[in-house]
Structure 1
Amino acid sequence: MPIVNVSLQVLPLVPEEKVYQVVDKVIKYIKSTGVNFMVGPMETTMEGEFEHLLEIVKEAQEICVKEGANRVISIVKIDYRSQGVTMEEKIKKYIDK
C-alpha cells in the first residue's frame, strides 16, 4: 500500500476551556503511533499507510468522547496517489534549511 497523507481536524463539543486539552490528547496519541506528522494551526497532517491512518482517525474520535465530548465533528482530508505521496515533497520548497 502506498504512503498517503491524511489531515485531521477534530472539533470536540466540550466546554470551550477544555477544547485545547482534548485536542492535545489527540495529538499526543498521534505522536505515540510513530507516524510522521505535522501539527498546523487548524489541523494535523499525518503520513503513512492508508488503513493505519484511518484507524488513528477512528481512535481520535474515541479519545474525544472519553474526554467528555458528547459529539465530535471531524474534518478529514486525504491525499492519495497510487505511487504514494509524502508531506516533504509537497512543502520542501517552503522550508528554510
Structure 2
Amino acid sequence: MKIDVNAIPSAMAIQCLPMGLATKAETYAVVDSVIQMIQASGLSYEVGPFETVIEGPLPQLLELAGQVHAHMLEQGVSTAASYIKLWSGTNMGTTEEKVGKYRK
C-alpha cells in the first residue's frame, strides 16, 4: 500500500553537537546558528536544553536534518554529531498536547 508521507503527522527530535571547538562560547554560537536555520524553516519547533523538537512533513524534517548537520561542518567544526529521533503517525499528538500543561 502506497502512503503519502506528507499527509502523516511527523516529529523529529534533533540534538546537534559541534565538536572540537575550543570554548563553550564557540560551541553555543554554532548551535545558535543551527537553531536559526530551524526557525527559518517555517516548521513548528520547540527548543529544549538537549534537543529541539520539530513538527512537519517527514520529507521536510529529513531534509532539514541534513542541512543543519552539513551547516555545522561548514562552520569549521572538526567533527559534527546529530542525534535524531523520528516519530510519524496519525495519532501521535502534538508537542503542545504533550507538554503544554507543564509550561509555566
What secondary structure sits across from 1:12 in the alignment?
A: strand
Question: For residues 36 and 16 of structure 2, what CA distance do their matches in structure 1 show?
Answer: 13
Question: For residues 27 and 81 of structure 2, what CA distance do their matches in structure 1 show?
Answer: 12
* Deviation per residue, 1:59-88 (Å, 9 max, x gap): 011110110013211111112213453111
Rate the CA distance shift 1:44–1:16 in 2: closer, same or farther, 3 A: farther
Which residue of structure 1 lines up, in the alignment, with residue 42 of structure 2? Answer: 34
Alignment of 1:64-75 (within 5 A): 64-75=72-83
Rate the CA distance shift 1:84–1:50 in 2: closer, same or farther, 3 A: farther
What TM-score do the two structures reach when normalised by structure 2?
Answer: 0.83
Q: Does 1:90 align with 2:101?
A: no
5+ unaligned residues in a row in structure 1: which ranges?
Answer: none
Question: For residues 92 and 68 of structure 1, what CA distance do their matches in structure 2 show?
Answer: 37
Count matched residues: 96
Question: For residues 10 and 22 of structure 2, what CA distance do their matches in structure 1 show?
Answer: 32
What secondary structure sits across from 2:81 in the alignment?
A: strand
One-letter amino acid of the counterpart of residue 13, structure 1:
M
Question: For residues 53 and 32 of structure 1, what CA distance do their matches in structure 2 show?
Answer: 13
5+ unaligned residues in a row in structure 2: which ranges?
Answer: 1-6
Aligned-residue RMSD, C-alpha: 1.5
Which residue of structure 1 lines up, in the alignment, with residue 12 of structure 2? Answer: 6
Larger radius of gyration: 2
Once the two structures are TM-superposed, the CA of residue 15 in structure 1 deviates from its matched residue by 1.1
Contact 1:8 1:76 in 2 (8 A): yes
Contact 1:4 1:86 in 2 (8 A): no
One-letter amino acid of the counterpart of residue 86, structure 1:
T
Question: For residues 49 and 83 of structure 1, what CA distance do their matches in structure 2 show?
Answer: 15
